[in-house]
Amino acid sequence: MALGIILALTGGILLGGAITRSIRLKAVLDIEQAAPALPLEWRGWICICLSVIAFAVLSEYTGLVPATFACVFIAGIADRENSLRAILLLATGITLAGAVVFWWGLGVTIPLFIRGYM
């Protein structure tokens, strides 16, 4: 609960800073001179949302290692500049680090692998 409160406060502080910076920027620049807004990155939004869903589903049926790998891999696809090799290396590294920290270090109860689905 304490961690949740700390994260919420940190998010509020960051949001407040962004809002005040935006207000100051609008006061300095004329609205008509501002650059047009960038289009939404639908690929990024979709990949990030799918990565969270994939982790939620796969962690229950396949275990922590495949779920973490799939989550990071799908999220890595969101950036158009990432190569397949970079995404695979990132997913492998985060999966190994996540297994060490969460399963062995913190004792998370999600099994590393679930045998029936491999």
Percent of the chain scored above 70 by pLDDT? 84
Gap between the Cα atoms of 79 and 117, Å rounded: 30
Q: Are 71 and 51 in contact (CB under 8 A)?
A: yes
What digits encode the pLDDT tens for the residues 34-58?
Answer: 556 667 788 888 999 999 999 999 9
To the nearest 10°, the Cα dihedral for 10, 98, 111, 118?
130
What digits encode the pLDDT tens for the residues 69-78?
Answer: 999 999 999 9
- Of the ranges 1-10, 77-86, 109-118, which is most confident? 77-86
Long-range pairs, 6-15, Cβ under 8 A, ≥24: none
Q: Which helix H or strand E contains 76, and what residues bound it?
A: helix 64-77
* pLDDT higher than threshold 60 for residue 30: no
In the chain, where the domains are located: 2-33, 42-117
**pLDDT computed for residue 19 by the predictor:** 81
In angstroms, the Cα distances linking 48 to 22, 36, 52 are: 26, 25, 7
Gap between the Cα atoms of 52 and 74, Å rounded: 9
Residue with tokens 């609960």: 1
**pLDDT computed for residue 20 by the predictor:** 80
